[in-house]
Structure 1
């Protein structure tokens, strides 16, 4: 017995919502859903239902906003797997949403927020995350949002999106080190090839795609980057991704600093920045060690010092709102400000020394502190700044 192919999460969720709506004629979405069900003799299950109709409808503003919110909520809750991503590709969902979010064509802040939620939901899948970064310029797109006037109000959401992206990338990298995940380079290339085919079919040019020379059977260049030649136990996230992500984090801080973040947002940002900077330092050590052994012909250009004194000074200033007033952070900052050359010591050891000093001060002053993790993250960042990250 041959089972029919599984419906994508987006289609299944749409059908479940439609079934609930048509039972209630007073529902605001009843007319739109009922029209869709009556007009269509058969439902196309390989594309997002009514995507263009709901996104670009010409009804009254209230009804337009309602339908857009329904559509974006459907995408946010429905994109869970590779199959859902391909369903979106047939209608160029991400190309359209990423271009629509920063534009003046979308004036409703609720819709802009929902688009970021769609992106954040998609970033929970590692293959989708890599495809959005490598082929959709996701990190640069997020960086461009920092230039708009509305970002200051959405700073905490931006931090949440970046946190989800980093947690997915880092968790996937750790699984590769433990041999729980296979090398995904070919999987990402194959996914992009399928995305291009889906988009071509949407233009009714599927008959021409077979003659296209691009991405022939997802072949990989014979000369692999140095980070792809490392042993499985020493796998790192691609340095170009790390550099883009670090630049995004630094630019995001300028917005956060002006927006005066609350404790939850600052703690989340400090954790991610600390983890990103630590991985950059670790990657540099691993790759340089590999070059000295057998890969001397391949050079790795280290990024410039992004944890500068001004950024560290602002981080210590803002952290003082949420942690006790013990002087260890200011003392550590003074060391960073006075150092004329980068330290060759291990940043983990440096930060542990300052953590021990903080515990000694706390015992001496008999002070309780609940936000210890925030303080230690700032200490780790100061130690990384000492080492020239």
Structure 2
């Protein structure tokens, strides 16, 4: 590398031979490829001229068509290497490169891969609500599905993007409303996959966090149906984060626990040790707990949690309809009812909720 001056970062590189001086004729002796990337057009012209005399490939950064070679805008994706040339128009090739990469990620352009299983099932976590928070892999597999079996919680925009030939099956489990029994869901996954379809089971959040995902894995495995699992961004962490609250913070809490509130304290099928939970000093994240919030608050207060423990309630987290409510543990039930908070909602209990908001965080 030849340059009249260099940055400390370049100077620290040990993979290059560096000459800190101006270019002079003869510097390309022994080279087979050169890049003229100075801010002086006259120097770039001289470098290209020497390259032409010596039959050397030379890229000219400022005027690509004046060089003897052009570097493609390139990227790698899922085992593919893609390069784009646009007649020396660097910005155009870069824009097209980015469009192709996005199309591959979204499944608009399909590159058949080993995780797209004809006659198989993919359990895909749809994330906490914002359609942009699904993983790249999850979105790609969703775009290549023949059948999508979807819950209520995944972002509806993801379903709206599907091609018209895709069969979408509503497996919504709306609390206290219509529901599709788990056995029926398992049967649909198996039947559609056995018909040779690639089936995506789309769930909100992460498929293995209170989503019965592993029950579906076991059912498919028992039926001989291959399954791949695509983790998702769980609402238990993402929703508080988007509301400006971390579930852990150095010197404040070294633990957090995520608890399902679908069963009340004292229910014979509940596996939660509420006394132990109340004794923790860390963060508690309650999912599916709004309908029984009075019971959960009561058991935590009786177990030793202080009445003034800060609480954050977030409804429709990470979406345009997001609403937040701050309270103390003691007055949370009253405030939740007064605000008309309904599922889906996340309840965060702990000192981290008391952290002062940072202006501008998540457009706050």
TM-score (norm 1): 0.24
More helix by share: 1
Larger Rg computed on CA atoms: 2
Q: Which has the higher contact order (CA 8 A, sep 6+)?
A: 1
TM-score (norm 2): 0.26
